[in-house]
Amino acid sequence: MTDYAETTPATEPKRLTIKELPEDERPRERLLHKGAESLTDAELLAIIIRDGTRKESALDLARRMLHKFGNLRDLRERSIAELCSIKGIGPARAAQVKAALALASRIGENQLRRGQRFTSSKVVFDCFYPRMRYLKQECFFCVLLDAKNRIMREVEISRGGLSAAMVNPREVLQAAVADSASAMIVLHNHPSGDPEPSADDINLTRRIKEACDLTGIRLLDHIVVGEEGYVSLADKGRI
C-alpha cells in the first residue's frame, strides 16, 4: 500500500512592513529628505496612521481607506464609525485621521484677520476657499470693511440645506450698520461645485445693492465659490 504524502500548507508571502522597506521608499524618511510634496495622499495618510497591523502596513491601510472613500475630501466627511468599518482601523487611528484632516481645513480660517485689506476678488477667494470648498451646505457670509477696505469682522448670515441658503438683505445690512461698516463683501458657496451665479444669486445681489445704496454702505462684491474656482459679480460688471 502506498502511503499518501502529506500536503504542506501553503504559506502566504511575507509582507514587508514600512520599516523593512528601503529607506528611500519609506514615507516618513521621504518627507524628511524630499518634502511633503513628493508624497502621495496615501503616503501622507500612512504617516498619520503611523502603525500597521500584523497583516498590513500603515501604507496598506491608507491605500484601502482611500480606495473605499475615494479621496481625502470624502474621507474628511466620514464619521468615526465609518472609518472604523475598515478592518485594521480602530477608534484611535480614526481619531488621528479625523484630527489631521480637520486641522488642514482650518488653515484657511486663520488667514482672515482684522485689519487685513482686500484689494481684489482673488484675495477674498484665497482667504475663504480652503474653508468653503468642503462645505456641503450653502453658506452665506458677509465681510464688513472700514473706509480703507480693511477687515472689521466676518459674519455668517445664513447656513442652508444642500441647495440654497435663505438670505434676507435686511440681516446683511443690520450687521453692517451695527458695526458702522463703510463697505462690505458678501460671498457664498455652491456645494454642487459650479461657481456660476444662478438667477437667484443675481437677484439677491441686486436687492442687497439697493439696500446698501439707501444706507450709504458700499457693496464691493458678491463672490460665489465653487470646487475649482470662483465667480465675482463685480468682475462681471453686475455690481
Chain segment 22-50, per-residue pLDDT in tens: 555 688 888 898 898 888 999 999 999 98
| pLDDT band with cut points at 50, 70 and 90 for residue 4 | very low
Q: Is 211 exposed, middle or buried (0-12, 13-18, 19+ CB in 10 A)?
A: middle
* Higher pLDDT, residue 104 or 75: 75
What is the second-level CATH architecture of the domain 18-106?
Answer: Orthogonal Bundle (1.10)
Fold of 110-232: Cytidine Deaminase; domain 2 (3.40.140)
pLDDT at 15: 56
3-state secondary structure of 71: coil
pLDDT (mean) for 158-169: 75
Domain spans of the chain, in order of start: 18-106, 110-232
Phi/psi class of residue 146: alpha, beta or left (left: φ > 0; alpha: ψ in -120 to 50)? Answer: beta
* Amino acid of residue 148: K
Chain segment 46-87, per-residue pLDDT in tens: 999 988 888 889 999 999 999 999 888 789 888 999 999 999
pLDDT (mean) for 158-175: 80
pLDDT at 54: 86
